[in-house]
Structure 1
Amino acid sequence: MSVLCTGEILIDFISEDKGRNLSQSELFRKKAGGSPLNVAVALRRLGRNVSFLGKLGGDQFSSFLLGVMKKEGIDTTHIVVDPSCKTTLAFVARDEQGNPDFVFFRENPADTNLKPEEVKLDPEDFSFLHVGSYSLAVEPSRSTYLKVMEEFLRVGKPVSYDPNVRANLIKDRNFFVKDFLEISSKVDIVKLSDDDLEYIFQEDLETSVEKIPIKSDAVLFVTMGKRGCLVRFKGEKRVVPSFRVKPVDATGCGDSFTAAVIHKYLEKKPETIEDVVKMGRFANAVAAIVITKIGGVDAMPTLDEVETFLSSWER
């Protein structure tokens, strides 16, 4: 059965001028993007069957994105095409560490306009559901994906959630935080970054991480860039160190981490904190490979690449 990924599919125009901000950049490279699409591609390259639920528009960019998904082997049966909508465009510049800065252009955007009545699927046909990112923070797509999530949870299918905070796009922080707390309390995997955590709780990491409400058998991952990741499971916490590599572009690193965690969860549901640490180490390795390349979708590694990378660090 397939993993179902949900949410936005968009175009990233990535600056070729590393270390220069958007006002200084002159040359941009077009890439398929969107956090949920990055997760889907990463899972597919790790060997998982993947389906996608989302909406595309009737413009040329949407045609390009549909082609990318089919090329990657992602099932597009549940992609809704609405000719009246347009693809969201994101322009991205990177600092010297490869950290991205985004500006979005959204005109009647397809990605946030998926309506509940447009979704025709059965959760029993899938092994797992991934939700999150901006399309879970804007109506009508928010209501659509929350309904899908509840249907998966009702039949006992595991669900992962990554809020993937884009502060400049969130209109009501309090409403967003309320959603975050409620969703986190229901799902099986919660993954977010230290920056996401700071936006949500506006406190230090150690204090904030204890405030995230998760189920007794759920897993929490907080990515911390070059410091690795923090994991929390059944009342225990550990920090899993990162792999030191030369950063090029951090776009998609968090999404590749999420995909790696889902992949390992489906291999074996964790029973101990040591199981979760192993998941974190694998996910750190996937993210370390991605940060050495340009572009979210194009940077996602195959399982063979990850295993080779890990082997090189174990010698």
Structure 2
Amino acid sequence: MKILCTGEVVVDFISENKGANLSQSDLFRKKAGGSPLNVAVALKRLGREVAFLGKLGGDQFSQFLFQVIKKEGIDTSQIVVDPTCKATLAFVARDEAGNPDFVFFRENPADTNLRPDEVKLDPKDFSFLHVGSYSLAVEPSRSTYLKVMEDFLKVGKPVSYDPNVRASLIESKDLFVKDFLEISSKVDIVKLSDKDLEYIFQENPEKAIGKIPTREDGLLFVTMGEKGCLIKFKGEVKHVPAFKVKPVDATGCGDSFTAGLIHKYLERKPTTVEDAAEMARFANAIAAIVITRIGGVDAMPTKEEVENFLSNQIL
């Protein structure tokens, strides 16, 4: 059965002037992006069957995004097209370490205007659900995706969640944090970055990780860039180091990490923190490849590339 990824699809205009901020950049490259789409593409390239639930507009950028999704072999039957809406545009500049800075341009945006009555699916037709990012922070898409999540949980389907904080698009921080705590307590996998954690709790990952509620069998992963990631599983916390590579563009790294977790979870559900660490090591490998490439969707590696990368690492 297919994995269902949900949320926004955007056009990234990525600055070609590395190390320059947006005001200093004068050349941009157009790429398909959006955190949920990055996850979907990464899963597809790992050999998984994937469907996407979201909304696109009637503009040329939406048409571009729809064609990219089809080209990647992702099931588009759950994508709603509304001619009155437009795709969101994100302009991205990168610092010397490849860390992205975003500015969004949105006019009647399709990505956050998906309504509950527009969703026609049966959770039993899918093996897994991924939710998150800013489409869970803006109405009406927030209510839509929360209902989809609850429907999947009711029938016992596993769910992963990445808040993927975009502070400039969050309408109410209090509601966002409330949602974060509630969703985290229900789903199977919670993945977020140290920067996400800092926004939510104003504390470093080592202190804040204990404040995130998870199910007894829920997995929690906090990515920390070149420092690797922290895992919390069944009361145990473990650090998994990152692979050393030369960074180019960090766009999509966290999303590729999420895809790696989902892929390994579906291979074998972990029972120990060491199992969770193996999931994280595989996810770290995908992220290490992605950070050496430009762009979100285009940067996602194949399963063979990940396995070759891991085979060349010294244990």
TM range (shorter): over 0.9
Matched, 1:206 2:197: no
Q: Report the Cα distance in structure 2 between the residues aligned to 1:177 and 1:314, rounded to whole angstroms.
A: 40
Q: In structure 1, what is the equivalent of residue 144 of structure 2?
A: 144
What is the Cα deviation at residue 170 of structure 1?
Answer: 1.3
The 2-side partners of 1:93 and 1:203 are apart by: 26
Give the structure 2 partner of residue 56 of structure 1.
Answer: 56
Show the counterpart of 1:239: 239
> 1:204 offset after TM fit, Å?
2.4
Matches within 5 A, 1:85-164: 85-164=85-164
Cα distance in 2 for residues equivalent to 1:112 and 1:212: 26
Structure 2 counterpart of 1:290: 290
Number of equivalent positions: 315
* 1:148-192 CA-partner distances (Å, limit 9, x unpaired): 000000000000000000112212111110000000000000000
For 2:35, the equivalent position in structure 1 comes to 35
CA contact (8 A) 2:205 2:222 kept: no
Distance 2:49 2:40 in 1: 9
Tell me how far apart the structure 2 counterparts of residues 143 and 56 of structure 1 sit (CA, whole Å).
18
Alpha-carbon separation, structure 1, partners of 2:218 and 2:261: 12
1:222-267 per-position Cα deviation (integer Å, ceiling 9, x unaligned):
0000000000100001100000000000000000000000000000
Helix, strand or coil for the counterpart of 2:66? helix
The runs of 5 or more residues in structure 1 that have no matched partner are: none
1:305 matched to 2:305: yes
1:21 is the counterpart of 2:21: yes
SS in 2 for 1:263: helix
**Structure 1: which amino acid aligns with 2:122?**
D
| Counterpart residue identity of residue 18, structure 1 | K
TM-score (norm 1): 0.99
Q: Tell me if structure 1 keeps the 8 A contact 2:54–2:114.
A: yes
Measured in 2, the distance between the counterparts of 1:67 and 1:175 equals 35
1:206 Cα deviation after fit? 1.6
- Shift, 1:104, TM fit: 0.1
Deviation at 1:113, TM superposition (A): 0.2
Contact 2:56/2:80 (8 A) holds in 1: yes
Structure 2 stretches lacking a partner, 5+ long: none
Which segments of structure 1 move beyond 6 Å, counting only runs of 4 or more?
none
Q: How much has 1:314 moved relative to structure 2?
A: 3.5
Q: CA deviation at 1:74?
A: 0.1
Report the secondary structure of 2:211's partner residue: coil
- 2:168 maps to 1:172: no
Equivalent residue number for residue 44 of structure 1: 44
The answer as to whether partners of 2:137 and 2:171 remain within 8 angstroms in 1 is no
Please give the alpha-carbon distance, in whole angstroms, between the structure 2 residues aligned to 1:56 and 1:301.
25
Q: TM-score, normalised by structure 2?
A: 0.99
**How many angstroms does 1:132 deviate by?**
0.2
Choose 195-204 or 74-83, whichever is displaced more.
Answer: 195-204
Aligned residue for 2:70, secondary structure, equals: helix
CA contact under 8 A between 2:257 and 2:284: conserved in structure 1? yes
Q: CA RMSD in A?
A: 0.6
